[in-house]
Amino acid sequence: MKRRPVQLGLVAVPVGGTRLPTRLVPARSRRPSPAPKPWACVVLGVDTAARSGWAIAVQGKRVDSGEVDTLNTLDIERVVRWAVDLGRVGGLRVVLCLEAPWGGSVAVVAALGVARERWERAWRDAGQTVRRVVRVNPSTWRAAVLGRGAIGLEREAVRALEQSVARRLVGKELGPDESAAVLIARWGSQAGEVGKAIGKRGQRESMKHWQGTDN
């Protein structure tokens, strides 16, 4: 009788026969499913760069957006405090969605890491937990907001598409970094990763809000 291999976060793949040891390969991680409606929370979406785009959405609705010089700590802190204050006034949890470094030269990746750390430091200084920081790859939020057709486009083409979609959402022309941030916040408003960040209680409160809006 063959013994079934035990999976401990890995997938056991038989190699050449049952008598030989198995080869272990990483199991595919499953991303949490997106919500059918915006979560009852505040999302601060940030396109991390030397000049970071930012956007604040409350229960899926954009409140404001802009761009800041990442070297200007006071401006970053002001944006974070605004998002936190909106959450406090509305009794809502606040989630920081940061675009993760996606590639490029060592210098570019290092610079993006510094920008991300400045936002995370301002987040911690505002008394917020790191458990509500979500890092998202560009391909993930672009596929959700722009469609899978955006994957593989040249940088200039995808940035132009981002600005076009953001312009339709906001009703005015935005810069490339601000446009990306608006779309990141839109992704985060219904992302399963954000639902995980707000926890079971936050999810239950969101469902109560959905039921109230349906009635």
Residue 5, pLDDT > 60, answer no
Provide the pairing of β-strand 133-136 with 93-99.
parallel
> How many whole angstroms separate alpha carbon 69 and alpha carbon 130?
23
Q: Domain ranges for the chain, please list them.
A: 41-214
User: 51, 177 in Cβ contact below 8 A?
Assistant: yes
Amino acid occupying residue 186? R
Q: In the predicted model, what is the mean pLDDT of residues 64-70? A: 95
CA distance 17 to 93: 52
Helix (H) or strand (E) holding 84: helix 73-90
- One-character DSSP codes across 152-203: T--HHHHHHHHHHHHHHHHSS---HHHHHHHHHHHHHHH-HHHHHHHHHHHH
**What pLDDT, on the 0 to 100 scale, is given for residue 28?**
47
* Residue-level pLDDT at 102: 64
Q: In whole angstroms, what is the distance from residue 91 CA to residue 105 CA?
A: 42
What pLDDT sits at residue 150?
82
Q: How far is it, in rounded angstroms, from Cα 82 to Cα 95?
A: 13
The count of residues in the chain is 215
| CATH architecture for segment(s) 41-214 | 2-Layer Sandwich (3.30)
The percent of residues in the chain predicted with pLDDT above 70, rounded, is: 81
On average, the pLDDT of the chain sits at 86
Question: Is pLDDT above 50 for 55?
Answer: yes
Range in 16-30, 77-91, 191-205 the model is least confident about: 16-30
Better pLDDT: 140 or 109 = 140
pLDDT reading at 113 higher than 90:
no
DSSP secondary structure letter of residue 28: P
If you average pLDDT over residues 89-104, what whole number do you get?
Answer: 88
49 pLDDT higher than 80: yes
| 45 vs 65: CA distance, rounded Å | 9
